[in-house]
Amino acid sequence: MKIASLFPAGSEIICNLGLSKSLIAVSHECDFPPLLSKKTKVTKSIIPKCNDQNIIDQLVKDAIKNNFSLYQIDNNRLLKMNPDLIITQGLCEVCSISENQIQATLKNNLCTLSNKTKIMSLNATTFDEICEEIIMIGKEVNKVRAAENLVKKAYQRKNNLLQRKINKKILLLEWIDPYFSPGHWIPEQIEMAGFEVCLGKKGTKSVELSIEEINNINPDYIGLICCGYNLEENKYFAKKVYEDTRIKNLDAIKNEQVFAFDSNSYFSRPSLRILDGAEQLRDVILNNDKNHHCERIY
């Protein structure tokens, strides 16, 4: 089976199922496992790579308002590769245009494909839904047992995490200019790590926060998990949080309990690595320690 994945979590799952050799194309964002760096990239983004979150926020809002895609797909290359399965994110629309071809809307791009190509859309917003989609992919690629084993181990890890409770509030920030709450599966990660979820509800979108809301919560800890950024970038954003005089009286700020994480790897994507993120969240804060993926910022 020839598989093209336009979604990082989809590429991870395919590799977790032992089918990395079947991946003939991936998106520009697919960077884990490292072997994906050698795969053909068939997408690119119009979002600039920079630390000015306000610029990116405005660009994304304008794109949504005008129904404009943030991504571009190399349709000619994809059509020539003729994959049996395409994994994408979000609902897609498919219609027939000839006996041999279809038109599909992938990441808001209209693409022409072989009518033999199966398209699978991933839409998970909770831990349970991530596991359900692993099973769904497993059935599609004839790896049901491997998928079931992955999910079984994932639930065991989750249950082990949930056994320890910490009566402390932590605020994870998915963006800082403007501030955004944790959304989708991230409230579950907070819960798994044993902390009190003071903002956000599992399965719901991240929402913009007012300064008043943040001050009213007065969290014991703040974690920087700005969407799509790595540890070094989130360390930079953590220092920006310390510089914001509007929240200088928060306990987390006064006590220097602000932490940065590799959110691109462990918080931003609906894959089983969110369990690693939950473990890092618990361990780095309880031990005031650091590793390659997270660090306390002073």
Q: Do 11 and 102 share a structural domain?
A: yes
**Of 277, 280, 276, whose CA–CA distance to 291 is shortest?**
280
Same domain, 31 and 96: yes
pLDDT digits (tens, 9 = 90+) for 74-87: 989 998 999 999 99
Q: Tell me, yes or no, whether 197 lies in a domain.
A: yes
**214 in the same domain as 97:** no
Model pLDDT for residues 21-49, shown as the tens digit of each residue: 999 999 999 999 999 999 999 998 877 67
Amino acid present at 213 = E
Do 16 and 89 share a domain, yes or no? yes
Residue 67, amino acid: N
Q: What's residue 261's pLDDT?
A: 96
**Residue 22: how many other CB atoms lie within 10 Å:** 18
Residue 58 and residue 174 in one domain: no
Asked, for residue 150, whether it belongs to a domain, the answer is no
pLDDT at position 95, please? 63
Instruction: Tell me the one-letter amino acid at 198.
Output: C
Q: In the prediction, which pLDDT does 22 show?
A: 97
Q: What is the pLDDT of residue 69?
A: 72
Question: Are both 40 and 104 inside the same structural domain?
Answer: yes
* 144 assigned to some structural domain: no
102 is a domain residue: yes
118 and 183 assigned to the same domain: no
**From the CB of residue 190, how many other CB atoms can be counted at a distance below 10 Å?**
26
- Where the chain has pLDDT below 50, the residues are none
If asked whether residues 199 and 266 sit together in one domain, one would say yes
Burial zone of 277 (CB within 10 Å; 0-12 exposed, 13-18 middle, 19+ buried): buried
Residue 115 forms part of a structural domain? yes
Residue 37 CA to residue 18 CA, distance in Å, equals 17
Q: Confirm whether 141 is domain-assigned.
A: no
- Residue 275 sits in a domain whose CATH number is 3.40.50.1980
Give yes or no: residues 99 and 16 share one domain.
yes
Q: Can you tell me the distance from the alpha carbon of 222 to that of 138, in angstroms, rounded to the nearest whole number? A: 37
Range of the domain at 102: 3-123
What is the reported pLDDT for 268? 95
Residues 46 and 168 in one domain: no
Same domain flag for 115 and 174: no
In a domain, residue 157? The reply is no
What pLDDT was estimated at residue 259? Answer: 95
Q: Which residues contact 143 (CB under 8 A, 6 or more apart)?
A: 17, 18, 19, 137
Domain end marker among 73, 100, 123: 123
User: Are 207 and 260 in contact, with CB atoms under 8 Å apart?
Assistant: no
72, 103, 123 - which closes a domain? 123
C-alpha 249/C-alpha 103 separation (Å) is: 55
Q: Is 34 exposed, middle or buried (0-12, 13-18, 19+ CB in 10 A)?
A: exposed
Q: Quote the CA–CA distance of 294 and 282 in Å, as a whole number.
A: 11
Q: Which of 175, 151, 165 is nearest to 237 (CA)?
A: 175
Residues 287 and 169 in one domain: yes
Yes or no: say if 186 and 267 are a contact pair by the CB < 8 Å rule.
yes
Taking each helix axis from N to C end, the angle separating 127-140 and 8-16, rounded to the nearest 10 degrees, works out to 60
Domain with 22 in it: what CATH number?
Answer: 3.40.50
Structural domain count, the chain: 2
Q: How far apart are CA 182 and CA 200, in angstroms?
A: 6
Q: Give the residue from 57, 92, 123 where a domain finishes.
A: 123
Residue 133 lies in a domain: no
